[in-house]
Every structure is written in structure tokens, then in C-alpha cells.
Amino acid sequence: MKNIWKKVEKSKTTYIALISIILVFIMPILFNLFHLGRTNRIIWLFFIINILFASFIGWFSRKYGLSFYNLVIFPVIFVISVFVKYGRYGYFLAGIYLVLSILIYFLFEKEE
């Protein structure tokens, strides 16, 4: 079991997936728990926080030389959550997150 955890601990892809799950599934629950309305959730979580995280994924993937497929993790997890509990607008947001990650990925040169 320790060997498995050490492999997971070294994987940056796992960190991207875990943070994505927290942002997509746990943060909306926290917004509801603190009685923040739907409008606040859409503005702060879906537009501001998630867009910043999508940009971070693009930069992070380029900086550490991660596979291009790491850019897809967050939008796919977001689409799954949208399919389960949110409206159709979420599909467009997932596309925006993906495009933004790709743009940031190609914007920054790999640091030597």
C-alpha cells in the first residue's frame, strides 16, 4: 500500500485530478453549505475560480513537461458533474476551460 501511495504522490497528473474533483464536486457543496446563491456559485466558482484553475493547468502542464492530455482532465470531470446536476451552460464552460488551458499551454515556452 505504501508503494502505491508513493507512486501517486509523485504523479503530478494525480494532483491535477484531485484538485479538479475538489473544485467540481466539493466546492459547490461548500457554496450551498454557506448559503451562497446560485448566482454567486456561477460567477465565483464557474467563471473566476475555474477559469483561473484552467489557466493554471495549462501553465503547470507546460512547465513540468506533462502530457498534453492533462489539459483534458479538468474539463472532463466538469462535464461529468454538469451531466449529473447542472444546466446545459456547463457544457459550454467546459469547452471554454479546455480552450483556455490549450492557449496557455502553447503560450508559455518550456523552461529549460
Provide block-wise average pLDDT over 10 residues at a time, the chain (112 residues): 66 89 89 83 88 94 90 93 78 92 86 52
pTM of the model: 0.85
Q: How far apart are CA 10 and CA 79, in angstroms?
A: 27
Instruction: Tell which residue, 104, 97, 59, 55, has the closest CA to residue 76.
Output: 97
At residue 102, the pLDDT reads 94
At residue 111, the pLDDT reads 54
How many C-beta neighbours within 10 Å does residue 81 have?
17
At residue 51, the pLDDT reads 94
Q: How far apart are CA 55 and CA 100, in angstroms?
A: 6
Cβ neighbourhood burial of 3 (10 Å; 0-12, 13-18, 19+): exposed
Instruction: Tell which residue, 56, 52, 45, has the closest CA to residue 23.
Output: 45
On whether the CB atoms of residues 8 and 17 are closer than 8 A, the answer is: no
